[in-house]
Structure 1
């Protein structure tokens, strides 16, 4: 999963890193690695910090919106790394991070949600992020449920009753996942 993620960052890094004079050519690969680690660290942090719904939603919907908390966190992490390791000023770091991280995370979500693209597997991603704690769970089944709709009581609408069984209360699916990931 990590190698595929770093390859995805490389594919998207053109103007943001590779063709950017603020990052010397000899440091391009290091900047790509930092972007990848920023994404992985932010996903891990989101899962262990109770943002499971955000991460699951991103993979279920096949979209990572730039304003989503986990995307903003990864963007901020990468900005800090660019400033600390490469001496970029705030404006330079923000420009690079904001042009790269949301695009990479959106591509990651799209590739994971696409059944015809096997470059990223949601089970493998969660197993790696959780240190293997999700190995026995059918995460693809959970995502399929989210994709197929949340009307669990089949009354024609998605309301509080539908969401309670999935996202709240002791013993809920999300509660169990939090315990495994936290």
Structure 2
């Protein structure tokens, strides 16, 4: 997952960091590395906290990752803004501008990659990487399932999202792609 994150930071960092005259050229690479590290550590922190899991699950649905007013996006943006000011001496306006621009783009790109059936990187890879696997991964997936039932994805009305819902969706609503697309807001 960190490789995909690094690629996205490099991609979006061209405009937000490299072409930004307020960021000294000799700090471009370090600032982009800090952005990637900050995103990863913030996501891990959310995955390890009780209420953070709900923020994380909400972030992974629809276009929430690209929404600067999403609480999870705001939290990660604030973390990066502080780091850029502390570690690189960027003034608060520059630091918040860089963070406020790059964070939604990178998170949106990461969630889009995870939701793309043609990409080998999947949503479970993302969740497993940030949660460390095990019980935390299933807790996050349970929270996503909870949100999914609220959005009418529980095909057999048993109160949970599982394989039987996916099978029911494949039989009547555009296949598994339609079911997963509905779950993740596509």
TM tier relative to shorter chain: 0.7 to 0.9
Describe the superposition over 1:54-102 as per-residue Cα deviations: whole angstroms up to 9, x where unpaired. 3223324254121111111110111011101111111111111111111
Unaligned runs of 5+ in 1: 156-160, 167-182
1:68 to 2:70 alignment = yes
- Residue 110 of structure 1 is matched in structure 2 by 112
TM-score scaled by length of structure 2: 0.71
1:19 to 2:19 alignment = yes
Partner SS state of residue 76, structure 1: helix
Identify if the C-alpha distance between structure 1 residues 138 and 117 changes in structure 2 by more than 3 Å, giving closer, same or farther: farther
Partner SS state of residue 13, structure 1: helix
1:83 to 2:88 alignment = no
Identify if the C-alpha distance between structure 1 residues 49 and 135 changes in structure 2 by more than 3 Å, giving closer, same or farther: closer
Identify if the C-alpha distance between structure 1 residues 130 and 140 changes in structure 2 by more than 3 Å, giving closer, same or farther: closer
Counterpart Cα distance in 2 of 1:40 and 1:48: 12
Please list every run of at least 4 consecutive aligned residues from structure 1 whose deviation after the TM superposition is greater than 3 angstroms.
134-155
- Residue 174 of structure 1 is matched in structure 2 by none
Q: CA deviation at 1:152?
A: 3.7
- Residue 55 of structure 2 is matched in structure 1 by 54
Identify if the C-alpha distance between structure 1 residues 144 and 117 changes in structure 2 by more than 3 Å, giving closer, same or farther: farther
Tell me how many residue pairs correspond in the alignment: 158
Q: CA deviation at 1:147?
A: 5.7
> Conserved in 2, the CA contact under 8 Å of 1:60 and 1:113?
no
Counterpart Cα distance in 2 of 1:113 and 1:143: 14
Structural mapping, 1:1-182, within 5 Å: 1-50=1-50, 51-64=52-65, 65-118=67-120, 120-133=121-134, 137=138, 149-150=151-152, 152=154
Describe the superposition over 1:118-147 as per-residue Cα deviations: whole angstroms up to 9, x where unpaired. 2x3222222222223259859889868866
Q: Bigger relative contact order, structure 1 or 2, given CA contacts below 8 A and separation 6+?
A: 1
Partner SS state of residue 117, structure 1: coil
Higher helix share: 2
Identify if the C-alpha distance between structure 1 residues 63 and 113 changes in structure 2 by more than 3 Å, giving closer, same or farther: farther
Counterpart Cα distance in 2 of 1:4 and 1:151: 29
